[in-house]
Structure 1
Amino acid sequence: MDEVEQAAHHLARNLVALRHARSLTQDALAKVSGLPRSTIANLESGEGNPSLAVLMKVAGALAAPIDELLASPRAKVRKWAASEVPASNRRTGLTVRPLVPEPVPDGILDTMAFAPGASMRGTPHLPGTREYFTCLSGTVTVFVAGERHSLVAGDVLAFPGHVAHSYRNEDAEQAALGISIVILAKAGV
């Protein structure tokens, strides 16, 4: 096998592995990358001879560097230092941080650290969106469409993400921690 055939073989294996790791179909990857599905299928068969522009589109859609697409297959392990995972302080006393530092198709995964008394208004999403909040420590009150739900460590609340909602740590002395998982509805569905 010459170098070009070997690179095409590596691309095919890595593309399939990365696509599966991100729970994408060939159609979904084609849509996100702006390429025809036949191009994705061709690359995954090892028969493709992609241009640099095609490789950049595929790499961008997978949030992976081009060299990861072309490298010989190896264990896909990466460590992020805490300083490399961006945290945002949306309100005084509330820190929101991604649970995983890579894009998750059709979802948002965040940790939410509440200082005593901290609160945050949730962002309404498209109808069909489903949200889950798991309280890990302390007590978090979640208001959904005017209803109050108090959660303690281990409790999980599921609710439609398109309705008005907010989060509050009503304890004036103890911090609270939770995980927010949002399964986004697809636009136009």
Structure 2
Amino acid sequence: MGTEAGTARLACWNPGTPCWNPGIVGETAGMDALAPNLRRLRASAGLTQAELAAKAGVPRATLASMEQAGSNPGILAVQAVARALGIGLDDLVEPRPEERHYLIGPREQQDYRADAGRFSARLVSPIASKGVAIHRVVMQPRCHSIGRPHPPGAQEFFLTLVGTAVIEIEGESVEVPAGHLLQFPGHRRHSYGNPGRTVCEAVSSVVMQLG
């Protein structure tokens, strides 16, 4: 067990996050989310500071301090408040999902293959992300694959990186050479093709709703 400032540090309560000092929570950058999360969750529960403090068994002054940025509450107080709200500790101290960053490794990316494996689309965007899907597309020579229409309002952005792709949109064929981007309504019937003799690589981004 390591030490910091002469005080032994506890084991991490959540793998992948920095260990906390046993007495002070606010030493980690992740605690920046505590104050706004607590204010939002308390309001959603319809509780005043006094009511939540009583329910958690902590002084009202402690709770008021926790709702202020830069506070240094003890871990036991934070755990008590989380229990009183009926939520997990992560929900209280970590940024909201839409405010977090994600690093997606190859093993977490999903592959879709068609046309006897000659068409490959790998989902590289996080599954948790809402409203957007990004695929890395690889098409072998003479490849052709029918796309799946997306919900109305969706827009697809297809950027060819290597070679030339041919996107067919409701019977109309559009050549998309390397370095060019094609935008089209994702809900329309479409297909992807590579009529050339070399591999075609591209990135497809689907935004479910613009504006």
Flag the 1:158–1:110 CA change in 2: closer, same or farther, 3 A.
same
Is residue 54 of structure 1 aligned with residue 87 of structure 2? Answer: yes
**Post-superposition offset of 1:122:** 1.2
Give the whole-Å Cα distance in 1 for the aligned partners of 2:29 and 2:186: 40
Flag the 1:12–1:46 CA change in 2: closer, same or farther, 3 A.
farther
Contact map agreement 1:118 1:168 (CA 8 A) in 2? yes
**Post-superposition offset of 1:117:** 1.1
Q: Which residue of 2 aligns with 1:162?
A: 187
Is residue 91 of structure 1 aligned with residue 115 of structure 2? Answer: yes
**Post-superposition offset of 1:55:** 2.8
Contact map agreement 1:125 1:161 (CA 8 A) in 2? yes
Q: Which residue of 2 aligns with 1:13?
A: 32
Identity %, equivalent residues? 23
Task: Kindly report structure 1 stretches of 4+ aligned residues shifted beyond 4 Å.
Answer: 2-5, 9-12, 45-48, 56-59, 76-79
- Structure 2 residue runs of 5 or longer lacking an equivalent are 1-20, 50-64, 68-77
- Structure 1 residue runs of 5 or longer lacking an equivalent are 20-29, 64-68, 70-75
Report 1:146-157 matches (<5 A).
Answer: 146-157=171-182
Give me the TM-score of the superposition, normalised by structure 2. Answer: 0.56
Equivalent residue for 2:200, pick from 164, 176, 181: 176
Is residue 137 of structure 1 aligned with residue 162 of structure 2? Answer: yes
CA radius of gyration, larger in? 2
CA RMSD of aligned residues (A): 4.0
What one-letter code is carried by the residue in structure 1 that aligns with 2:87?
Answer: V
**Post-superposition offset of 1:126:** 1.6
Give me the TM-score of the superposition, normalised by structure 1. Answer: 0.62
Flag the 1:55–1:156 CA change in 2: closer, same or farther, 3 A.
same
